[in-house]
Amino acid sequence: MKKIAIFLIIFILFLILLFAILKKNSNEEIIKIGFISSLSGKYSSLGHSVLNGFKLAFEEIDYKIDKNKIELIIKDDKQEQSEDEKVVEELINENIKIIVGNTTSSMTKVSRDKLLSHPEILLISATASSNEFTNIDDNFIRTQVANNSKKFDTLSKYLIKNNIENISIIYDLKNSNYSKGVALHFEKSYKQYNGKVVSKLDLNLDFNEILKQINSDKINAVFIIANAIDTAKLAQFFKLNNFSKTLISSGWAKELKLIEEGGIAVEDMIFVTGYDDNSTDPKYLKFVKKYQKRYGDLPSVFSAQAYETASILIETLKKHRDTNEFKKIILSKKSYDGLQGKIIFDDFGDVYRDYFIMSIKNKKYKKID
C-alpha cells in the first residue's frame, strides 16, 4: 500500500508539472517578423549594414517580449524583381504581419506593390527614400526621410557659397526609384539658388565615356548618386585620370565601406545627411559601443536607422499584440526616441529629420558648420 501511495503522489506531481508546462506553453506566442534586403551582390554592403543594426536591437532583449519569442525570417531579394516577389510571397504564406524592407527604393516599390492587396501586413523600411511613396495612405511606413527639394537646400546653399555653380550628375539607374528622385529634387533646389545641372549620365556606362563627357562640360563638381562601392570605384578612376573637380555624393554611399574602398580618392567628398557620425548624444554613443563590440566595426547611418526601426517595433509590441493594426498603432503615438533626437511620423508614415553638410576628412566623416 505504501508503494502505491508513493506512486500516486509521484503521478499526481507529474500531472501538475505537465499541466504547468502546457499552460506556460499555451501562453507563449512566437511573433514572426519578416526582413527583406539585398544580402548578395554589389548592394549587399548596405543590406548587411541594415540587418546588423536591426538584429542588434532584438539581441538586446534576447529576442523576447514578456513570454513571447521574436523570430526574424530573413530573405535576400538579390536586387532582382522576380526574386523579391518570390520572397514576399513566401512571407505572406507564412502569415507574417510585419515585414521590414527593403533597403533600396526600387526593391521597396516591388514589395509595396505586391503587398497593396494585403493591407493587414505592415511594410516598414529603414532606408527607402523615394518620394514615390510620399503622402500615400497605404500599408507602408519608413524611418528614412523621403526625397524632396527642401532636403537639398542646405547642400545647394553650401555649393553656391563656395562658387560651385555648374554640376554634372552621375547616377545608378538600376536603382532608378531612388537615383532619379535624388537627381530631380537636388536639381530643383539647386536651380533656386542659380546653380545649373549641365548633364546627367548613367553610372553603368563605361567610365571612360563618363570622363570624356564631363571633361567636355564646363563644370565645377560631379554629384555621384550610387552605392558605396561604385562611388569609391568611380572616385578612384577620376583620381587616376587627374580629374580633380569637387565630388559630391548622395547619402546612399555614406558608409565606412566608401572610405575603406575609396581611400584618398574620396577625401573631401561632400554629403548632405541627417546623421552626424560624431554625435555626442548618449543614446547614440551607447549604440555605437554595442555595435562595435558585436560586429567589430563602426555602424553606418543605415545601421543606426535600422536599430531605431527595430526599437520602434519592440516598443509597440510591448504594448500591443494586434499586428493587424500595426501601422495605425505606430502612427497614433507619432513621436519616438531616436539615437539622435526624436523620430516624428506624419499621418502617412513619413518622418522628418534636420539635414546638414558633412565631408570626409582624414578618413573620417566630419560635420561642416
pLDDT tens profile 269-286: 999 998 898 999 999 999
Distances (CA, A) of 11 to 3, 8, 14, 16, 21: 12, 5, 5, 9, 15
One-letter amino acid at 27 equals N
Mean pLDDT, the chain, integer = 91
Q: Does position 267 have pLDDT exceeding 70, yes or no?
A: yes
Q: Does position 23 have pLDDT exceeding 50, yes or no?
A: no
Residue with cell 519616438: 336
**Which position has the higher pLDDT, 322 or 348?**
348
Q: Does position 319 have pLDDT exceeding 70, yes or no?
A: yes
Mean pLDDT of 140-156: 93
**Which position has the higher pLDDT, 326 or 201?**
201
Residue with cell 504594448: 319
Indicate the pLDDT class of residue 323, thresholds 50, 70 and 90.
confident
Which domains, and CATH codes, for the chain?
A: 30-145+280-352 (3.40.50.2300), 149-273 (3.40.50.2300)
Indicate the pLDDT class of residue 26, thresholds 50, 70 and 90.
very low
Sign of the CA dihedral 178, 300, 73, 43? Answer: positive
Pair 339, 301: CB distance under 8 Å: no
Phi-psi region of 167 (alpha: psi -120 to 50; beta: other; left: phi over 0): beta
d(CA 272, CA 266): 15
Give the pLDDT confidence score for residue 25 in this predicted structure. Answer: 47
Give the pLDDT confidence score for residue 5 in this predicted structure. Answer: 53
Mean pLDDT of 311-324: 88
> How do residues 82-139 score in pLDDT, each as one tens digit?
999 999 999 999 999 999 999 999 999 999 999 999 999 999 999 999 988 999 999 9
> How do residues 334-358 score in pLDDT, each as one tens digit?
999 999 999 999 999 999 888 899 9
Mean pLDDT of 200-219: 95
